[in-house]
Structure 1
């Protein structure tokens, strides 16, 4: 039996992963900004707490510490909560950009800061971050959101090396388009102040959001089962080390394959120029 701490459990991956962990017989601390949104998880035995990753770090850590008291520690931390916004860099205000980083990056750091000392003391644990296939590439008019996902992937890679000596595993889960509420009507997906100059560039994305929502190929229930297996070392992951980057969804796999192939071609094309910048033996 594992003890989980999962952020952003009101919908999507957080909610489905909490359900899958509870079905496995695990203990789950489930968080959401509004606990009324996760009453069903409480009914199934989860300990639910209010947690907003935009809170100051001290308040986040206080909430985490209070939630952990009944259990003493946590075996698996799933930093899942996130917000998104579709807009060009010029359209997204500094306030909106900082708000995204507060949740998608700094909030994860605050929660991890609170739980990591307990994992070090017990000499085991698993930390997962919810990234995105966009953490591999760039796409116009989602620059700020994409930057948060690149940042979290870089953080996860470094943290993995820092804590492996304590028996702690770190991974970043990078899904493609899944049938969650990420594009839901309740979300503020677009900047408060759009710009006429980017109207043409934004139109395909506005169309995509309107047509894709509810039709995404990815099944969050199936994804949650894989996430639980990956973070508990069961199923396909039994006896194997969880990958540093766990890509989910056929669309994500296709995108990553294309990126890697393109990067390899570019590296080979410019290799002679790149290596020409070193000192020569004579120097």
Structure 2
């Protein structure tokens, strides 16, 4: 495969930083972005181009930034929408503006970055769009409603987008990682809303303590995950000679939890088949 140019969001740590290092190690070109340039100076020293990009900025500002990114190497071949954070709290404790803030980064930010680069891909009739979703896009854990809601929304948006753009030679890859050892649960990325309601207090605190304990002790190896994603994009390594699927879970926990949900859904459809399919107009009624 020829040398690719990658644009990656959220590169100050975690998946984004690993993406840049591995992209460069394969001989491709990388444009790393983050809200603050001082957080990614070390990636510039490794050979990446760097740009300031806050996905919560306006569409016009993001359009300008993406235009600057395209101008660096004359094109972009792959965009990786990676920037995200987690808001945790009970429904009755989370304020609407906190929910909107969660969606601003995890959904609307992804929408704006992708919308900015789509004309470039469409005109070239090529390009790969990678979206880092989550196991939480399949399973809504208690007290993770804002984050799970944002990832469920992302899944629907991206599935629709993939169908809209596949005729233009644009590939879409929706990655659903389980728990990987990144800074996603660190104080800088995790926003916990403690419960003020006695009925939720104990369970809410236990959830917050569990998230804090999980920070940087997650079972998933980010290096291994990113290697697989690069293989899927480049169609080499584990993806050599295979048809790359649109949706790709990563991690043992993702495999097990998504598998259980699929089984439960199939069981529901079989058990309630006659009721679910009983809602069409009767033939005689329809004719009247």
TM-score (norm 1): 0.96
Indicate yes or no: 2:192 matched with 1:203: no
Q: Which residue of 1 aligns with 2:275?
A: 273
- For residue 223 of structure 1, the aligned residue among 206, 222, 225 is 225
SS of 1:262's partner is helix
Instruction: Please report the RMSD computed on the Cα atoms of aligned residues, expressed in angstroms.
Output: 1.4
Q: Which residue of 2 aligns with 1:182?
A: 184
- Return 5+ residue gaps in structure 2 as ranges: none
Indicate yes or no: 2:280 matched with 1:258: no
How far the C-alpha of 1:189 sits from its partner, in A, is 2.2
Do the aligned partners of residues 168 and 158 (structure 1) sit closer, same or farther apart at CA in structure 2, a change above 3 Å counting?
Answer: same
Indicate yes or no: 2:64 matched with 1:71: no
CA distance in 2 between counterparts of 1:187 and 1:131 reads 16
Number of paired residues? Answer: 283
Do the aligned partners of residues 193 and 255 (structure 1) sit closer, same or farther apart at CA in structure 2, a change above 3 Å counting?
Answer: closer
Q: Which residue of 2 aligns with 1:133?
A: 135
TM-score (norm 2): 0.94
Q: Which residue of 2 aligns with 1:6?
A: 8
How far the C-alpha of 1:139 sits from its partner, in A, is 1.6
- Mean Cα deviation higher: 247-256 or 81-90: 81-90
Contact map agreement 1:93 1:191 (CA 8 A) in 2: no
How far the C-alpha of 1:39 sits from its partner, in A, is 1.5
CA distance in 1 between counterparts of 2:190 and 2:198 reads 19
Contact map agreement 1:73 1:119 (CA 8 A) in 2: no
SS of 2:173's partner is strand
Q: How does 1:92-107 map to 2 (within 5 A)?
A: 92-107=94-109
Q: Which residue of 2 aligns with 1:89?
A: 91
Contact map agreement 1:157 1:171 (CA 8 A) in 2: no
CA distance in 1 between counterparts of 2:121 and 2:198 reads 50
How far the C-alpha of 1:193 sits from its partner, in A, is 7.0
How far the C-alpha of 1:54 sits from its partner, in A, is 1.1
CA distance in 2 between counterparts of 1:74 and 1:239 reads 24
Contact map agreement 1:35 1:49 (CA 8 A) in 2: yes
